[in-house]
Amino acid sequence: MSKILIFGHQNPDMDAITSAISLSYLLNTLGYETEPVALGEANDETKYALDHFNHEGLRVIEKAGDETDTVALVDHNEFQQSVSDIKDLNVFAVVDHHRVGNFETSAPLYYIAKPLGCTQSVIYDLYQEKGVEIPQQIAGLMLSGIISDTLLYSSPTCTEKDKEIAKKLAEIAGVDDESYGTEMLKAGANVDDKSAEEIADGDAKSFSMGGKEVRIGQVNVVDANDVIKRKDEVLKAMKELLINNNYDAFLLVITNILTNDSEGLLVGDDSLTKNFEKAFDVDVTDHQLALKGIVSRKKQIVPPLTYSFEG
């Protein structure tokens, strides 16, 4: 078997990058030859964690087939979110915590997905099953993934098991999860230095819903007005991304990490607006919609939208 490249989804977030690192360490310890890589540059929040725990950033790739025929996927399974040549590769394993969609392989594989708040929680169980000790540095990055994906345990995706695992990882990493987590989230919530395109597409994923291609981005802030004050600029960037990539609709979710509420910005085919209004029981006015109490793309945004488009 050739070297296995391990990576998360495009526009990688904390969980995508750190899960590649933690799974790679585990598999290397078990005798495999692997390398964690990324399908995009790390965001500010992830850079904060990598710096804090003294881990170098990951090499960014656009395709994998020119250096290996075997890959492992973390924090995603849908091919439209993966490396560009995924259909030409052998998928050795998938470790995930999302729905299964648009995924098939030509050969058997290791596949594990659990309804937990973070891929790192799934990987933690793998360390326990294999009897592999988690080093301090890896524990810190795994903790960072859980804090990020669960918004420091406030997201509805967070389970008691996620919190239990996070507390154990914090002890190994030698940090207080609450204070470290707060500073880490704040490090990723500054959008003043980001371009409109970075705000819109920096953490965006594509989903097929009822035959439509729906792009859903999310940005965390400490004040939604940090983005809303640039609304025209951001909407323009979203429209350009939609046209250039043939999306049918593009929803940007602006999440306040302090209040656990969101605002949405929407562009796309006007005939699809009703699907968004139905999904969230709100009115879309001037491309904007209130998403009160909504913070989770995986649990609170994708499921009702999918039902609205396909139901």
Using one digit for the tens of pLDDT, what is the confidence trace for 216-266?
999 999 999 999 999 999 999 999 999 999 999 999 999 999 899 999 999
d(CA 205, CA 214): 8
Per residue in 276-294, pLDDT tens? 999 999 999 999 999 999 9
Beta strand ranges found along the chain (DSSP E):
4-7, 34-38, 59-60, 70-74, 90-96, 110-113, 204-209, 212-221, 249-256, 261-268, 288-291
Average pLDDT, the chain: 96
pLDDT-derived band at 311 (thresholds 50, 70, 90) equals: confident
The answer to whether the 4-187 and 196-310 domains have the same CATH topology is no
pLDDT at 1 over 70: no
Domain boundaries, the chain: 4-187, 196-310
Considering the domain 4-187 in this protein, what is its CATH number? Answer: 3.90.1640.10
Q: Residue 103 pLDDT more than 90?
A: no
Q: What is the pLDDT of residues 46-73, one digit of tens each?
A: 999 999 999 999 999 999 999 999 999 9
Q: Does domain 196-310 have CATH number 3.30.420.40?
A: no
105 three-state secondary structure: coil
